[in-house]
A = this chain, B = another copy of it.
Amino acid sequence: MDNSVKKMKTSLDCIPCFVRQALEASKMATEDKAKQEKALKRVLLELEKTSLEGKIPPDIARKVHRIIRKVTGNSDPYKKLKDEYNRKALRMYPNLKQKVAGSEDRLLTATKLAIAGNIIDFGPGSKFDLEKTIGEVLVQDFAINHFNRFRNALQKSEKIVYLGDNTGEIVFDRILLEELKSKEITFVVKGGPIINDATVEDAKFAGIDKITQIRTISNGEPGTGPKRNSKEFIDLLKSADVVISKGQGNYEALSEVNANIFFLLKVKCPMIARDIGVKIGGIVVKQSR
């Protein structure tokens, strides 16, 4: 399998997954079955009209979830789940700190915990067990292991941009952030709700605003920040000595960008698995160049 960095394409296999996501989001957004059906059907029509050519999966996900929010009138369908996992992860925080403190290699443990937290993802649609995942990841080998390069790059870095992914997960990111010594760290979240992605509110809840500055990228709605593929945002990434990129969505969007990005993720989707050459469940620290 070719592990070179290239842009993720949207596959036909993504279509049933978007439809499932749309159904799940609709049901969380409203109890009104007529609205659920209207939202789901609007998504079917959008997917029928949309050319997959040149689009990455997050481009289409933004459209899908924007439709759900609009048709159901619920601006944040995953709110309850998001709050639940934020609280759950924050309760785990003292124990996670102990795991780092008691480990032989603090940075390695913190990195693995940040990757374990990436299981809290309501995009792929498979169920997960957070506690079990933490235990597994701590003793699991990296399927792609650029960890030594990551450690070396961090030691020399003055400016870091850290791209967060999901709620709850960002408490695990805080664990890793607290191990970083760089002068300037920017933590990036979504400027508005999409699936269970972390927002500014979540970053504050996790206490991250006290240790880094926060910036936003767009959730698909106007005024929520620059798009992830905008010049403004790519310039930010290029200006950093190291970019830490969490999760599948950031990998799909940024695998082609010419910046010093380390992708930290747990593989949960068959299309990403194929693209990155790692089996479902694999953990990855992959440098972009």
Residues on A facing B (Cβ under 8 Å)? 12-13, 15-16, 19-20, 23, 26-27, 33, 36-37, 40-41, 44-45, 47-48, 52
Contacts and interface: CB of A to CB of B under 8 A. Distances in A.
A279 to B, nearest CB: 16
Contacts of A44: 15, 44-45, 47-48
A55 to B, nearest CB: 13
Contacts of A27: 12
Question: Copy number in this complex?
Answer: 2
A40 B15 CA distance: 9
A253 to B, nearest CB: 23
A23 B33 contact: no
Contact of A37 (B12, B20, B26): B12
Contacts of A47: 41, 44
3 closest residue pairs by CB, A with B: A16-B20, A44-B48, A16-B19
A211 to B, nearest CB: 40
A205 to B, nearest CB: 32
A83 B47 CA distance: 34
Given A15-B19, A16-B20, A20-B16, A48 B41 contact: yes
Contact of A45 (B20, B23, B45): B45
Contact of A13 (B15, B23, B48): B23
Contact of A48 (B12, B15, B23, B45): B45
Contacts of A12: 23, 26-27, 33, 36-37, 40
A45 B15 CA distance: 13
A37 B23 CA distance: 21
Contacts of A26: 12
Nearest to A42: B48
Q: Most chain-B CB neighbours within 10 Å: which of A13, A15, A26?
A: A15
